[in-house]
Amino acid sequence: MKKLYLRIERCSGCKRCELACMDEHRDIDADKPRTRIFVESINERPVPVVCRHCKDALCVSACMAGCMQKDQNSGIVSNQGYLQKCVGCWMCIMACPYGVISPSDNGAMVDNASFAQALKCDLCPKKDTPACVSACPNEVIELRDIQE
């Protein structure tokens, strides 16, 4: 199962990972790009926080639409690409202990055209290497294959 692994002492807080993440997901985010990796800080030292694509993920159990699923082969936890569609109920946001799921802009929900979406890391399925990993100039983020 693929997971991101972090060496925080190498992080300079440049946030290029966040920008690359926003750019990579432009098609889902439409007008308001959002990052799925978060460069947080502890006493002004940067610490990226990422999705762990958990085993027995709480976001999956909390999802009342059934769209949040863990792919049995890749291990990727995502609410996109399934028959069930995200309706923006935010149960996953309430369930995620790492705080790495965020709501898309509310506009979509209000004008009735579609639902606002819960946005989270999908490990960039269209790429061999996730955008954040490629964008990091300091090799903070590594993609590892781990036995769960």
Ligand X SMILES: Cc1cc2nc3c(=O)[nH]c(=O)nc-3n(C[C@H](O)[C@H](O)[C@H](O)COP(=O)(O)OP(=O)(O)OC[C@H]3O[C@@H](n4cnc5c(N)ncnc54)[C@H](O)[C@@H]3O)c2cc1C
CB of 114 to another protein, least distance (A): 9
User: Which residue in 115, 79, 116 sits closest to 95, CA to CA?
Assistant: 79
Cβ proximity to another protein, 6 vs 19, nearer residue: 6
Cα 137 from chain centre:
20
Give the per-residue contact string, 45-84, with ligand X (x = CB under 6 A; - = no): -------------------x--------------------
- CB-facing half-sphere around the CA of 109: CA atoms within 13 A: 12
- Strand stretches in 1-148, DSSP E: 2-6, 38-42, 45-49, 69-70, 77-78, 102-103, 118-119, 141-145
For another protein, the binding residues (CB under 8 A) are 3-12, 38, 40-42, 45, 47, 49-50, 52, 54-56, 58-59, 61-66, 83-85, 87-103, 106, 109-110, 112, 115-116, 138, 146, 148
- Residue 26's identity, in one-letter code, is R
5 binds, among ligand X, another protein, none (CB under 5 to 8 A by kind): another protein
Which residues of this chain interact with ligand X, rule CB under 6 A?
64, 89
